[in-house]
Chains A and B, each alone.
Chain A
Amino acid sequence: MGKRCDDLELSINIGGKSFKNPVMVASGTFGFAEEYASYMNINEIGAVITKGITLKPTYGNPPPRIYESHGGILNSIGLQNPGIQEFIADKLPYLRTLKTHVIVNIAGKSLHEFEELAKRLDIEGITGIEVNVSCPNVEDGGIMFGKDPQLIEKITSLVKRSTSKAVIIKLTPETVDIESCARAAANGGADAISLINTIVGMAIDIRERKPFFKRVFAGLSGPAIKPIALAMVHRVSKAVNLPIIASGGIITGNDAIEFFMSGAAAVAIGTGNFIYPDCSIRVLNQIKHFLKENGYKSIREIGGISGE
């Protein structure tokens, strides 16, 4: 009997690679994984998506960088990272010791930078490249790329040509036509789509009569954005035939199940990692529990909803 309980089929496929389960951790919320090593067994999750990497080291934005709103958090980190050279020299060796997939998030300021980043990451120990065309917290590139389907297609095909890795395009919800953006990624040859990145928001210090963040706008994440993320994932799942890695306020297994039903192939835990460092493991266990309770044998059985 005990054995039968573990008979659940949790594996999924992205870009021809098999992932042992569909629970990942979202870029920017899990550092380079080592930070979480004493809180959980990282090897148990389906994949680690690293902090966004740029060509040159990036200092990031001046503090304050985080603000808690009702049900969500605003962040203005500004892609602080050591740059690709130090990433490969100092961070990748640890990531290579993990017995799970490593997906590296890249953020270029130009087409050329995306190409260069993808080429330099076409090395051992990396399964996929997540292309960040959706960061709201930087001056150059970021979200500006993600609003323009033509640019998305160009960047996707450029990255795809520059690497043998699975290519995942991370989209922003800050567009009127998410379907076109997703189709552009598909046309460019993307293996999967990640969505959503944070939503642009702001906070005001009313005593100082000033914006809370020096860059005025910041990125909203957490449970507050979950319904929006769910709608975006659902729309994109109807528009393209690509696996979707869903993120946006997933804290519990039930949150994740909603995303699977809305059309996601995998989920990425973001803000949840800050609240419970082992949030991804909790979500994974709760997903298993839900599947067993409801008589499902495979994660692939729960996609779709009735009544549409």
Chain B
Amino acid sequence: MLQLTKRVIENTEIQQDICLISISWDKDAKPGQFVMVKCGDDTLLRRPFSIHSISDGELKILYQVKGKGTKFMQGLKKGSSISIIGPLGNGFTIPRDTSKALIVGGGVGIAPLLFLLEKLNHRGIHTLSLLGFKEKPFRVEAFEKFSKTLISTESGTYGEKGTVIEILREINLKGFDIVYGCGPKPMLRSLRELTDKEGIKCQISLEERMGCGIGACLSCVCMIRDKNGWSYKRVCKEGPIFWAKDVMI
């Protein structure tokens, strides 16, 4: 049974409307996979969240408070129980010959990349992380544990001024075997263009409004190139991780 009732171990607002919740957890998962959380009785559908990390019997979710569901999450106290389905989705691919990987994250989109970074680090793969934020960075220290981390903020208050794509343009992509990205759609678009131009492999994590999370309802589709031109693929099942070159966004 993949439907689980779990306990909240900790739930903190690390910055205005950005929260980190730890949940008791005893299963393995692949970086890039996600979980569906039932957010109280005032919402119907479960909300999808990337796995931020798994260690020492805890699963961490990094989330932004946006609507009713995440507001409910924010109010969860230590010890309360929540209903979770997961892990779901395909997860990132780490090709065998990878020796250097570049991580590119924007805003709360950095969430699945930390778990990936841990795995890459564990496999002895060299990494560089580029993280972009609107005003104030968060979770940077967690990334710095595993890789050199460059920061940008749109306001210019911390790190480079501008989006993470600005830093990306100054980087020699040829020095990397693969690029992994997660963040807002314009960021993912630029990432696809830049990696395409340089001929570097790139995987991105997509987000779409989800219904069931298990592949049945066909709500969360995105256009993916295939042998017949294109088709709609389910973000929850064939994704959320796709090769950037195939994604039509």
Contacts and interface: CB of A to CB of B under 8 A. Distances in A.
B212 A274 contact: yes
Contacts of A274: 44-46, 211-212, 216-217
A60 B232 contact: yes
Given A65-B209, A223-B44, A80 B217 contact: no
Given A72-B44, A222-B44, A276-B3, A39 B214 contact: yes
Interface in B18-53: 38, 43-46
B46 A28 contact: no
Contacts of A38: 1-2
Contacts of B218: 31, 51, 60, 65, 77, 80
Contact of A75 (B1, B46, B211, B215): B211
B219 interface: yes
B44 A277 contact: no
B215 A80 contact: no
B128 interface: no
Nearest to A278: B3
Interface residues of B, number: 25
Contact of A77 (B2, B210, B219): B219
Contact of B216 (A64, A222, A273): A273
A35 B214 CA distance: 6
A39 B3 CA distance: 7
Contact of B212 (A60, A80, A273): A273
B219 A75 contact: yes
Given A38-B2, A39-B2, A59-B232, A275 B45 contact: yes
Dominant secondary structure at the B interface: loop
Nearest to B210: A66
Interface residues of A, number: 32
A48 to B, nearest CB: 11
A277 B212 contact: yes
Interface in A1-56: 28-31, 35-36, 38-39, 51
A300 to B, nearest CB: 31
Contact of A271 (B38, B43, B44, B85): B44
Q: What are the 3 tightest A-B residue pairs by CB atom distance, in nearest-first order?
A: A31-B216, A66-B219, A35-B216
Interface of A: 28-31, 35-36, 38-39, 51, 59-60, 63-68, 71-73, 75, 77, 80, 222-223, 271, 273-278
Given A35-B214, A63-B219, A273-B216, 19 more contacts: A28-B217, A31-B218, A35-B215, A36-B216, A38-B2, A39-B2, A39-B85, A39-B214, A59-B231, A63-B232, A65-B221, A67-B209, A72-B44, A75-B219, A80-B221, A274-B44, A275-B38, A275-B45, A278-B3
24 contacts: A29-B216, A30-B216, A31-B216, A31-B217, A31-B218, A51-B218, A59-B231, A59-B232, A60-B221, A63-B232, A65-B209, A65-B221, A66-B45, A66-B217, A68-B45, A73-B44, A75-B217, A75-B219, A80-B221, A80-B232, A222-B44, A223-B44, A274-B45, A278-B3
